[in-house]
A and B are shown apart, each in its own frame.
Chain A
């Protein structure tokens, strides 16, 4: 990767495990650019990953890094953040990890509005296990467990997170790296639960089964299907059919969980009766 970001890498862990054409490296570099821009202290930053190709990212990074169990990264991260709110906690997760096995933790982390930044590497497939369908596999696409085409509708992650209570939601693709970096920066800056979904290519497990041969071809497809939110608001539902809306999709003010808890501690210790009105 690029020299300016080398201080964030554990180069002794290279080479990366990812296939050629994989989009994970692009998302990762955007994450690191965001971290650099915000000048986060590596000693005071914890990166938490679930299980999957994407979640392996944390192992290559020179921070306090925690590679957890499948789907549970947000729950581990919740313990970290609540116990030590002064630490920056960033969570890395795949579409299967965050939306299938970890879906419950996602909606509850969003509901609490705990100050975590979740970056979802959405490659529309279970990459690590070799191409089974995920809750984000589009209808009609092939997977090893959907050999006749996927019949299950997909989640809209952004809508789900917004409804659950997230205070910042953004989406980008690995084609739109500038936007992706800006969204991650804003997500980290947001004091509350932030979710950034990045569409990323998986030529090996998704492309091959779906007549998209290379990572480049898949990147161009991302470019074609993406519509920025500023333009999307002026489009009809018909026009938006098959499009992926990118940009800052949601922002709202709400009290942050660990701050509320710290205030509760102060009140309880001073014998102040709490009033909710």
Chain B
């Protein structure tokens, strides 16, 4: 007990995200200041040189995204942090990272939009942008913490997943979690699982940079160590050479999706509370999951069979879990600080087997436990 108290520290969500990334081995940060994510950059500017790493404030978010891809290609785990407007600017190069399979992590601390919106007000308006923000069909992973500890754990996990699957990973925070100060106990560094990209075992002469083995993920040779190859955002063959051949281009695109699809068990993480016998399920993520947790507790006190399902990974969509919820519950309540972005995806999977009810707010205010409780009461009293 006393040891826990000793190790407990007061930490902010943005700080936890930065520390989680550093613990995962991140040694390069490029970014551009924007509320409410700026603390991540400030902490990185202070911490990285002490660890022998590099921080650079670029001229904009397009350049920031480009720089972290460059740093990752030469073998340094890299991250950037931004918020809505900056996330919009990063999109083209996020697509590049997806296409060229360069591991990297983008922290997006969501704020109220569209456009400049309300810079200091929370929102969850970038759910779909995180999935479909750049052009084309591309794979991506997005993780979403609801607490300071989760921000730490998921930042670490984001880096691990990026390295393992060679994809851009979005850590989709929101202003509430980013600026939240909580007492946390962090795991000892030597107990953390750290994943590094798999390097090729073949000689440079036999290496084909985009030839995947049974995992679907090609081993990655860092630039500068003797494996000379070509990296491009153009459709390319196994050697990385640009191609217009429809079969090769399609093969590449399908493999990019397949490398995540066949590893969903490893990628998807979720939390649940009182779900076993739940007839009304609240599906909530990020800051909204905090209010949902209170609402479910209250409902249980009033003998309502309510439960919470909290996806910690928003993308890829946890279809198998939502499928089970659709079979089990008569109603799924989806509270979100947007006009129903994730709900659309839930409805698509539920396909009418349960009622899907949205509780939405996009005015820069938090959803309260009472509002979610109200929605639960409405469905049980109907």
Contact = CB atoms under 8 A, between A and B. Distances in A.
Interface in B62-97: 62-64, 66-76, 78, 92-93, 96
A78 B60 CA distance: 13
B74 A65 contact: no
Interface stretch (A121-129, A239-247, A262-270): A262-270
A58 B56 CA distance: 26
By secondary structure, the B interface counts as: mixed
Contact of B62 (A43, A75, A86, A261): A75
Contacts, number: 130
Interface in A68-121: 68-69, 72, 75-84, 86-87, 104-105, 108
Given A59-B241, A83-B76, A67 B71 contact: no
A152 to B, nearest CB: 23
A46 interface: yes
Contact of A44 (B68, B93, B224): B224
Contacts of B50: 268-269
Contacts of A210: none
B262 interface: no
Nearest to A59: B230
Contacts of A66: 70, 73, 223, 230-232
B315 interface: no
A145 interface: no
Contact of A64 (B30, B59, B60, B228): B228
A105 B233 contact: no
A79 B31 CA distance: 11
A67 B233 contact: yes
Interface in A24-74: 42-44, 46, 48, 58-59, 62-69, 72
Given A69-B96, A76-B67, A265 B52 contact: yes
B88 to A, nearest CB: 15
A65 B242 CA distance: 12
Interface of A: 10, 12-13, 42-44, 46, 48, 58-59, 62-69, 72, 75-84, 86-87, 104-105, 108, 261, 264-265, 268-269
Return the 8 tightest CB-CB contacts between A and B, nearest first: A79-B70, A79-B67, A75-B66, A83-B71, A75-B63, A67-B232, A80-B70, A64-B223
Given A67-B242, A76-B70, 7 more contacts: A69-B93, A72-B62, A72-B93, A75-B64, A79-B28, A269-B49, A269-B52
